[in-house]
C-alpha cells in the first residue's frame, strides 16, 4: 500500500494577527494528529504582530522579501514546503477538521493535479452581503462540473511537483493581488 502523501498547509498572511488564533486552531490540530506535515504561515511584511502570533501558535513562519501579495507569499512557501501537496488556506478561512483527510482521498487518484474547496453553506459572523455572496458561490461550485477550469487558492490544494513545473503563481503579470489564483488554473 502506498503511504499517504504529505500535506503542507500554506497560509499567506498580511495584517492577520487578530484572525490567526481562530484560523490556525484546526490546522494546528491536524498537524498534531499527523494529518498534515506542517503549517507554513508566510508573513507578507505585516506591520502588526502577524508573524509573532503565528509562531506562538506553533506555525512555521516565513517572511517575504517585500510586500508582494498572496501569490508571492505562496510561491515562497512552495520553495520551502516539505509536503507533496500544497494546501493553500487564506488567513481568513477556517478549515474543516476533516479537510486534510478529504484531500488525502482526492489525491489518492494519481490523475488529480489540484482540488479546491467550496464556500461554507452556513457562514458565521459576516455581514449579510458577504453571507449572500458566500451562498451564491457555493451554489455555483456545487452545481458545476466536477472538472473545474479555474483554481481558487483561498482553500485549494495542488501537487507540489505540478505547481513548481508550471512556475507557480504569475507575480509579474499580477503584481497587485488580483486573480493570480484563477489564472493558475488555466
Same domain, 66 and 126: no
Same domain, 103 and 141: no
Dist. CA 38–CA 31, nearest whole Å: 6
Structural domain that includes position 159:
7-117+152-184
- Give residue 186's pLDDT: 45
Contact 124, 49 (CB under 8 A): no
- Give residue 170's pLDDT: 79
- Close Cβ partners of 131 (under 8 Å, ≥ 6 residues apart): 123
CA 55, 58, 61: angle at the middle one, nearest 5?
Answer: 45
Rg (CA), the chain: 16
Averaged confidence pLDDT in the chain: 83
- Give residue 59's pLDDT: 99
Q: Is 95 exposed, middle or buried (0-12, 13-18, 19+ CB in 10 A)?
A: buried
- Residue range 65-77: mean pLDDT, rounded: 93
Closest alpha carbon to 4 in 42, 47, 33, 44? 33
Same domain, 80 and 171: yes
Mean pLDDT is lowest, of 13-17, 97-101, 112-116, 174-178, for: 174-178
pLDDT in tens, 84-135: 999 999 898 889 899 999 999 999 999 999 887 765 555 565 555 555 555 5
For the whole model, what pTM was predicted? Answer: 0.83
CATH of the domain at 163: 3.90.550.10
Percent of the chain whose pLDDT exceeds 70:
71
| Domain membership flag for residue 1 | no
Confidence of residue 65 (pLDDT cuts 50, 70, 90): very high
- Residue range 139-163: mean pLDDT, rounded: 70
Same domain, 172 and 98: yes
Same domain, 88 and 158: yes
| Domain membership flag for residue 170 | yes
Mean pLDDT is lowest, of 59-68, 71-80, 138-147, for: 138-147
Same domain, 167 and 98: yes
Here the contacts of 162-166 (C-beta below 8 Å, separation 24 or greater) are 162/113, 162/114, 163/78, 163/86, 164/78
Q: Give, for 25, the enclosing helix (H) or strand (E).
A: helix 20-33
Same domain, 69 and 132: no
Closest alpha carbon to 69 in 184, 186, 178? 178
Dist. CA 91–CA 82, nearest whole Å: 20
* Between 151 and 69, residue with greater pLDDT: 69
Same domain, 84 and 38: yes
| Domain membership flag for residue 142 | yes
| Domain membership flag for residue 137 | yes
| Domain membership flag for residue 140 | yes
Same domain, 81 and 164: yes
Same domain, 163 and 102: yes
85-89 and 155-159 beta bridge pairing: antiparallel
- Give residue 157's pLDDT: 93
For the chain, give percent helix, strand, coil, nearest 5.
Answer: 35, 15, 45
| Domain membership flag for residue 21 | yes
- Give residue 66's pLDDT: 92
- Give residue 74's pLDDT: 94
- Give residue 17's pLDDT: 97
Contact 41, 60 (CB under 8 A): yes
Same domain, 20 and 59: yes
| Domain membership flag for residue 2 | no
| Domain membership flag for residue 70 | yes
Same domain, 68 and 22: yes
Total of domains in the chain: 2
- Residue range 79-86: mean pLDDT, rounded: 98
Amino acid at each position: 500500500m502506498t503511504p499517504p502523501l504529505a500535506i503542507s498547509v500554506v497560509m499567506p498572511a498580511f495584517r492577520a494577527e487578530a484572525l490567526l488564533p481562530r484560523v490556525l486552531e484546526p490546522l494546528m490540530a491536524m498537524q498534531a494528529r499527523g494529518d498534515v506535515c506542517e503549517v507554513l504561515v508566510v508573513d507578507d511584511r505585516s506591520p502588526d504582530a502577524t508573524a509573532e502570533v503565528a509562531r506562538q501558535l506553533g506555525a512555521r513562519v516565513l517572511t517575504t522579501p517585500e510586500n508582494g501579495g498572496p501569490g508571492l507569499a505562496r510561491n515562497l512557501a512552495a520553495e520551502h514546503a516539505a509536503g507533496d501537496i500544497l494546501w493553500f488556506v487564506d488567513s481568513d478561512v477556517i478549515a474543516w477538521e476533516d479537510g486534510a483527510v478529504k484531500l488525502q482521498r482526492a489525491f489518492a487518484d494519481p490523475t488529480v493535479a489540484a482540488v479546491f474547496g467550496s464556500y461554507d453553506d452556513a457562514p458565521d459572523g459576516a455581514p449579510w452581503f458577504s453571507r449572500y455572496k458566500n451562498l451564491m458561490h457555493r451554489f455555483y461550485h456545487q452545481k458545476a462540473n466536477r472538472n473545474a477550469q479555474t483554481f481558487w487558492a483561498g482553500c485549494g490544494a495542488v501537487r507540489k511537483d505540478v505547481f513548481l513545473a508550471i512556475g507557480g503563481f504569475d507575480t509579474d503579470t499580477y503584481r497587485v493581488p488580483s486573480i493570480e489564483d484563477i489564472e493558475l488554473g488555466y
